[in-house]
Amino acid sequence: MPVAGVSRHCYDTVWRGSRARWREYGTAVTTTVEPPEHVRATYGLREMTPVALGDWEGGWRLGDVVLSPVADHARAAWSAKIRESLRVDGLRLARPVRATDGRYVVSGWRCDTFMPGCPEPRHDEVVSVSLRLHKATATLERPRFLSQPPVTPWLDVDVFVAADRAAWEAVPLRTLRAAGAVMENSPDGRHSVDLIGQLATLRKPVRTPPQLVHGDLFGTVLFAGAQMPALTDLTPYWRPPAWAAGVIVVDALSWGGADDGLLERWSDLPEWPQMLLRAVMFRLAVHVLHPRSTPEALPGLVRTADMVRFLL
């Protein structure tokens, strides 16, 4: 997901012009409407003029902070509360700025410290960031909203919840069909469903316990010269840390121009082939379900799926 504080030029440079990858749900929502005056006033920012950071993410900079619209209040408030005190070796975290009445979210807007930097195709460093981050989040409790099933009418958050479950449940896509999901009937959608079914037969039980992980680090870690990498939000999942690393690798190979050796360089992670398998199934399920997925996104995923199969 694009991040507040990153210019469109910077983002497009990193992605090398690709528009194939969808936006992870995170806690932000696209809007071109600037923060209302009463929201700015509640955050003590009434006298400051908002400067748009780009219409692709919806963030507005006001001095040293950024106001961003949120798509899910519970997730935005949870992320803010965790980032308020979380400390991670070698990682800068955007700290939430509370409203004058103590709230993290006001009328659908959150406020965070501005973090300079750009996503860069430094894929091994992003995997390393994930391992350090998840060492710090290992003791966090599972938020209640992660136990809730997807519901209709479907929002972005339900798409990713359902896709995550599809990669792990005994019968892939059963939860989706039970929840009334409309499966993509295009040729690439049907190809994705078939591929999910094929990959599911290669799964074996995993023993690594789940914990709180950030499931969308590819393209969201910011780099700024010699400064430590930075992160402006947390996208929570309850999965093993190696799975989160696997999602980064799958994304980087599918859409980020990563070299094929990225798969092998992290092969010492627990149950690595099985984690990669579930990561690519997850992304394929998102491709089937997400209304903004495009046929151009599939070839990279298919290629990555073939590479993962070879490891198995």
pLDDT tens per residue, range 43-92: 999 999 999 986 446 799 999 999 999 989 999 999 999 999 999 999 99
* Residue ranges for the chain with pLDDT beneath 50: 1-28, 55-56
Mark out the alpha helices in 60-179 (DSSP H runs).
Answer: 73-85, 123-136, 156-168, 174-178
The architecture in CATH of the region 123-311 reads Alpha-Beta Complex (3.90)
Residue limits of CATH 3.30.200 in the chain: 8-113
Report long-range pairs for 289-296 (Cβ below 8 Å, ≥24 apart). Answer: 289/154, 289/159, 289/162, 289/163, 289/176, 289/181, 289/183, 289/184, 290/22, 290/156, 290/159, 292/22, 292/23, 293/22, 293/184, 294/19, 294/20, 295/186, 295/187, 295/188, 296/19, 296/20
Best CATH choice for the domain 8-113 from the list 3.40.50, 3.30.200, 1.10.10, 3.40.1580: 3.30.200
Residue 60, beta-bridge partner list: 52, 67
Separation between Cα atoms, residue 37 and residue 1, nearest integer Å: 26
pLDDT at 7: 33
**What pLDDT is stored for residue 125 in this prediction?**
98
At residue 20, the pLDDT reads 35
Token pair listed for 106: 């006001």
pTM score: 0.89
pLDDT value at position 254? 98
Q: Who's near 232: CB < 8 A, 6+ residues apart? A: 3, 4, 5, 66, 93, 94, 112, 115, 220, 222
Closest CA to 16 of 257, 296, 247: 257
Sign (positive/negative) of CA torsion 7, 116, 119, 131? Answer: negative
Whole-number pLDDT of residue 21: 42
Contact present, 196 and 285 (Cβ < 8 Å): yes
Give the residue range(s) of CATH 3.90.1200 domains in the chain.
123-311
Distance of CA 130 to the CA centre of its chain: 12
Q: Give the pLDDT confidence score for residue 5 in this predicted structure.
A: 37
Instruction: Please tell me the predicted confidence (pLDDT) of residue 57.
Output: 61
